[in-house]
Chains A and B, each alone.
Chain A
Amino acid sequence: NAGVTQTPKFRVLKTGQSMTLLCAQDMNHEYMYWYRQDPGMGLRLIHYSVGEGTTAKGEVPDGYNVSRLKKQNFLLGLESAAPSQTSVYFCASSYTREGGYTFGSGTRLTVV
């Protein structure tokens, strides 16, 4: 099993550009999450989904949008990238709300 796969692994964007980060899991997990990690800040929850077709805001949702059209995929979109969105983005999934999260290897995004 591949687990949780994130694409791309690295990306450099110019301010104002848009992009979509893809998260795919092959474990039939209901719950999926997008976190960002900045130095000294731990992981902050951006958006999450409790099942196909659902999305909800996390701790820091501004500037991001998400979609969960298929159970196995959770997309994170940046409509107009800003330097403050420079970060490492992690996707995670879990079978139940009780956690036991499986994380992807991350996407390192730099906005210049």
Chain B
Amino acid sequence: SQQGEEDPQALSIQEGENATMNCSYKTSINNLQWYRQNSGRGLVHLILIRSNEREKHSGRLRVTLDTSKKSSSLLITASRAADTASYFCAPVAGGTSYDKVIFGPGTSLSVIP
């Protein structure tokens, strides 16, 4: 199975600041995905980065991947109060058969207006 571990567990910033959260994993991956969960809701897929990519952008989101360090980071620029949520990473293994994806406890982001 594959499990991502997010760091920090909690992050509090002022609106307009940038937020950076990190993800570490243990084995080789095919891709790594980031998800957001607003309080009481299901997870929403944000971005997918493949193992042969080093950086990817989507709007105010920037994701980096360092496969040598088995780590990824998610940067949210110019944060808004609406970005307040928990963020999870999901490393997806390589190979031809499904390998269980276990989500970590996530990073709880609070953006203060």
Residues of A within 8 A of B (CB): 4, 31, 35, 40-45, 48, 50, 58-59, 90, 92, 97-106
A48-B98 Cα distance, complex, nearest whole Å: 10
Closest chain-A Cβ to B103's Cβ sits at a distance in Å of: 4
CB neighbours of B35 from chain A (8 A): 101, 103
| B97 interface hit (Cβ, 8 Å) | yes
The answer to whether B105 touches A58, judged by C-beta atoms less than 8 angstroms apart, is: no
With A40-B105, A42-B106 as known contacts, state yes or no: A97 contacts B98, CB within 8 Å: yes
Chain A neighbourhood of B105, CB < 8 A:
40-42
Residue of B nearest to A42 (CB): B105
A59 touches B42 (CB 8 A): no
Q: Which of B12-20, B43-51, B71-79 contacts A (4 or more CB under 8 A)?
A: B43-51
Chain A residue nearest to B93 (CB atoms) is: A97
